[in-house]
Amino acid sequence: MFDGLKDKLSGFREDVEENAEVEEPAEQDDSEAAETAAAESQTPDQTAESDADAVETVDADDADGDAVDAADDSTDADADDTEPSTFQRAKAFATGRIIIEEEDLEQPLWDLEMALLESDVEMSVAERILETVREKMLGESRKQVETTGELVESALHDALLDVIAVGQFDFEERIAAADKPVTIVFTGVNGVGKTTSIAKLSEWLADRGYSSVLANGDTYRAGANEQIQEHADRLGRELISHDQGGDPAAVIYDGVEYAAANDVDVVLGDTAGRLHTSDDLMAQLEKIDRVVEPDMTLFVDEAVAGQDAVNRAKEFNAAAEIDGAVLTKADADSSGGAAISVAYVTGKPILFLGTGQGYDDLTLFDPEALVDSLLGGE
């Protein structure tokens, strides 16, 4: 899953390591080690003076106490600048540290931006990732025992998690804490796997001890009742449905009434596939919200749709506010653009990934696990 994006992130790490290659400091003999130990016990002014002498950053003619103090003051004044000073670089080398500079990141960051956009990551999301990576790496000083590669991985980890984990909440905890029955309505465009996702979530809930009833609010499409009835029969679930052309809000309301009367924990309501520009269908969603007052509205789309899925998520959230997203066909997606972008552009989390055809092929979305996987973990 998302193998193409994994390769591109790995390429960024290698590019930075190559560009930011730093010489190892010379090994110290015993006398130098003793001098180093003595230097560590000196005052800040004395330490700065010793470091300046060691790396020859101050000319002999200027190496008196006043010049060192002036250099020290200058260093303090520039501490907030992103561009490391000559003094900082020299001191870093003398103490066995590295500093990443702008020139080290310029080309790798450009390549990373192109890689993210090619992987269908939304533009604002790519820019946010690049900004975070730059902030965390530029001018960063690290002991050389922590490699440049480790520094890159840490920056990428934080940058990716920053955009992927937006709005994340514990879905099962919310189900457990809510008054029953919990009503969840599914929406999205035609053909992305809404009905199958409903069946999968019903099985996911059953595995955790929650009962559910299905309600077919897709009264617009011919054959919709038959499709969801087949899933209900296979799973042994009750289906609430009306004739084609009926009122979707009334169907889901009947599902809630059935659940309340029969101590069913969760109502899973299907709706007709629609575009955000379909005024009559969007009006149906508004009526469902008004009549049923669902606890959650989940947007469903295909991970393989990439940028289209990201755009649709943004449009649906603007037209009829969603609480989270389910991405189907995640196992077939190599780019990862939708998984990276949906939460950030909507402010609402990805909650589940569909990873196959079986009823058990629904995975609770874990941002930390996804980031670890993208950066080469299992």
C-alpha 349 chain-centroid distance: 9
Q: Which residue has the tokens 């310029």?
A: 106
Q: Residues 102, 108, 110, CA angle at the centre, nearest 5°? A: 95
| Cβ atoms 99, 88 nearer than 8 A | yes
Q: What is the pLDDT of residues 22-81, one digit of tens each?
A: 444 444 444 454 454 445 445 445 544 544 454 444 444 444 545 445 444 544 544 455
More confident residue, 352 or 55: 352
CA distance linking residue 46 with residue 219, whole number of Å: 81
Average pLDDT in the chain: 79
Three-state secondary-structure class, residue 269 = strand
What is the 3 state secondary structure string of 188-238?
A: CCCCCCHHHHHHHHHHHHHHCCCCEEEEEECCCCCCHHHHHHHHHHHHCCC
Question: DSSP letter at 180?
Answer: S
The domains located in the chain, with CATH, are 3-23+100-164 (1.20.120.140), 30-95 (no CATH), 171-365 (3.40.50.300)
Arithmetic mean of pLDDT, 233-258: 92
Asked which of 78-82, 189-193, 237-241, 272-276 is least confident by mean pLDDT, the reply is 78-82
Residue 162 pLDDT: 93
